[in-house]
Structure 1
């Protein structure tokens, strides 16, 4: 990742697949008390109640890991490294619930 972070806005560089916007995210965690306790970081959602993990659009000029790291910095103010890839999942956002099902 680059040395300086520039918060990105807009969706003109974001990746899409079959009409779906691709996002990258992470589960920020750290060990406390000599690795006996795991602390997990979640953020407030500006679009509604509840907590979520930092995530956001995966842009065309970055890898999925770079996007996840950038989103953690932009949304939660934390920086770290990718420890383990957990996988992919598909979901339908609330704004698209009325569209036809896959």
Structure 2
């Protein structure tokens, strides 16, 4: 896979915050391939000639085995240490696959978590 970059050297990435339903109270997380004890939002590199929203949808299918309705852009987030800039979209999950592309890479697990539980433990 060829990675793409912004002029300032940050790598272009895209992903989705995958909501279980339209209440947006639960999100889907996947275990990190590099750190199986960590949870993350499905995201990855934007390929050449690929739009950010296309990359976000592709990454969700590959990493989490879900499809859905792509919604608003939530924001653009910089990870300065690793020079990554990720554009995140909201996605309402409509379909979950039993098998998907990256399911056998590492210890890939998916789970839903309450946003209230996340905020209660972080603030």
- TM normalised by structure 1 equals 0.69
Partner SS, residue 67 of structure 1 = helix
Which ranges of 4 or more aligned residues in structure 1 deviate by more than 2 Å?
A: 35-39
Structure with bigger RCO (C-alpha 8 Å, 6+ apart): 2
Aligned-pair RMSD on alpha carbons? 2.1
Which structure is higher in strand share? 2
Give the Å deviation of 1:15: 1.5
Gaps of 5+ in 1: 1-9, 98-102
The equivalent residue for 1:24 is 14
Q: Counterparts of 2:56 and 2:45 in 1: how far apart (Å)?
A: 9
Q: Counterparts of 1:53 and 1:61 in 2: how far apart (Å)?
A: 23
The equivalent residue for 2:32 is 45
Gaps of 5+ in 2: 84-123
Summarize deviations over 1:38-92 as a string: whole Å, max 9, x none. 3310000011121000000011221110000000000000011211111101013
Number of matched pairs: 81
* Larger of the two Rg values belongs to structure: 1
